[in-house]
Amino acid sequence: MSPEHREYLKKLKRRGLFIHASRIGLLLLAALLWELAGRVGAVDPFIVSSPTRVVKTLVSLARAGELLPHIFATFAECTAGFLLGTAAGVLAAVLLWFCPILERVLDPYLVVLNALPKIALGPILIVWVGAGAEAIIVMALLVSTVVTVMQVLAGFLENGRDKGQLMRSLGATRMQTFSKAVLPASVPAIMSALKISVGMSWVGVIVGEYLVSKRGLGYLIVYGGQVFKLDLVMASIAVLCALAAVMYYAVAAVEAMASKKF
């Protein structure tokens, strides 16, 4: 390795460390300003809460044994909805790529389903699958599946346009074209779809918990708003953000491993 190359790698490492430090610093600065705004009276802590009040609320819930059950319920529902929605979305995109006529027929329906507010289906889902965790998981599945289908299919079509013609000119079958050219080239599109699906799954779970749940972070948010315990609302939102970040970085780690392999 040349000295120039070594210096370039060190520069990249320093830049990465600076970015991570800046992210943490920005979060700490926002928390500090939030706390100071409440202490000096710039905002009403009863309305907007504060970091210390949020921490006290979380500690109180943890001591009462109520925090972990709510976290586990929401995280389990979101994980199930995300995995099922992702699997269903990718499989549907593969099917549509192999059937171009079906893809053209269903394209406007996918657009309409993507634009449809899924919360409108809440009462129907409660009747169909019951007022329990099943309805929440189905809601998360519906929210994430359509987005995954559209994102992954767009990647397949974009990468299959030129590569597919080249593979066909070499005598490859459609399966060989997909497995050898289209799928490996579409890994970035699939990873991008997964990142979007993570956020959509959380949206679906929280919406579902608003409607039917008696436990979970969405339930705590609704309950806190109804009884004006806004510290509970903000604490639940803070935990929700942390869990969403964990899932996002888990997908990012899978993306890093996939990029090295493909």
Mean pLDDT over 187-202 rounds to 86
Q: What is the pLDDT at residue 28?
A: 92
Mean pLDDT over 194-220 rounds to 85
How far apart CA 232 and CA 108 sit, in angstroms, is 42
pLDDT digits (tens, 9 = 90+) for 208-258: 888 877 888 888 998 888 888 889 999 999 999 899 888 888 888 887 787
How far apart CA 182 and CA 161 sit, in angstroms, is 9
Q: What is the pLDDT at residue 33?
A: 93
pLDDT at 1 over 70: no
8 A C-beta contact, residue 140 and residue 88: no
The most confident of 26-35, 131-140, 153-162, 245-254, by mean pLDDT: 26-35
Q: What is the pLDDT at residue 210?
A: 82
More confident residue, 130 or 19: 19
Q: Residue 259, SS3?
A: helix
Q: How many CB atoms lie under 10 A from the CB of residue 91?
A: 14
Give me the percent of the chain exceeding a pLDDT of 90: 17
- Structure tokens that stand for 78 in this block: 């979101």
pLDDT at 123 over 80: no
φ, ψ for residue 228 (rounded to 5)? 60, 35
Q: What is the pLDDT at residue 234?
A: 92
More confident residue, 56 or 132: 56
Give me the percent of the chain exceeding a pLDDT of 70: 97
End-to-end CA distance of the chain: 25
Q: What is the pLDDT at residue 29?
A: 94
- Structure tokens that stand for 104 in this block: 């053209």
